[in-house]
Amino acid sequence: MKREALIVALDVEDLQKVRQIVRSLSPSVRFYKVGLRLFTREGPEVVRWLKRKGFKVFLDLKFHDIPNTVGQAVESACRLGVDFLTVHALGGEEMMRAAMESARAASKKLKKTQPKIFAVTLLTSHHRLAPLGIPGSVKNGVLRLAELARKSGVDGLVCSPEEVRELKKRYGKSLRLITPGIRLDSQGKDDQKRTATPKLALSLGSDYLVVGRPILKALHPREVAENFLKGRD
């Protein structure tokens, strides 16, 4: 797989730890995900630091609010120069469209490359929807939200390995797919219920794989990252 298809999730507590991880994974890894835990602790500076070092950044904050607020948040993300960012498909078509319009306008104004916006369908920790008051199966829920996202014009979807084949069949290259929940065969699932090996996810049609704990907690992180890049199970 291409190096930039592997996105390492920086699910750690602070920038000092980020620096240690980046050193341990260089030059194998070129793309990093900044999520809620890290961004809440360190704020925009962690994104700026990664961009100064020449890395691509996936800002995974799953924006979900009224359209105007999400549009403003996307504009702020554009100012940081992020490459990918996420919105929640559950926020609705109008909200997702506002995110796309804001990304286009802000990027043009700032003369920056427009970030790709990915809609999160259902989290990989979800394996039953009944407790949420949503009828139907997880798969059907994902497909309904995916179609809503497509209509809004987003660049891609975040989905579990279980939905990749169907989504790729439906949308082909028109929507890029980011797949979290990637594990090597010998590794546990942690709190994620819908997982797959890198080889399987890629064969099903995933464009990008997000990997966190299996690499970050490894005794030799760069070696494990290389195994993922080589598609080893």
Q: Of 172, 140, 138, 137, which Cα lies nearest the Cα of 156? A: 172
Number of other residues whose CB lies within 10 A of the CB of residue 10 = 26
Give the amino acid at 171.
Y
Query: Which residues are identified as catalytic?
Result: 62
Provide the pairing of β-strand 156-158 with 116-120: parallel
Question: Structure tokens of 62?
Answer: 């799953």
CB 228 within 8 A of CB 6: yes
Q: Of 219, 233, 231, 209, which Cα lies nearest the Cα of 8? A: 209
Give the amino acid at 228.
F
Number of other residues whose CB lies within 10 A of the CB of residue 46 = 23
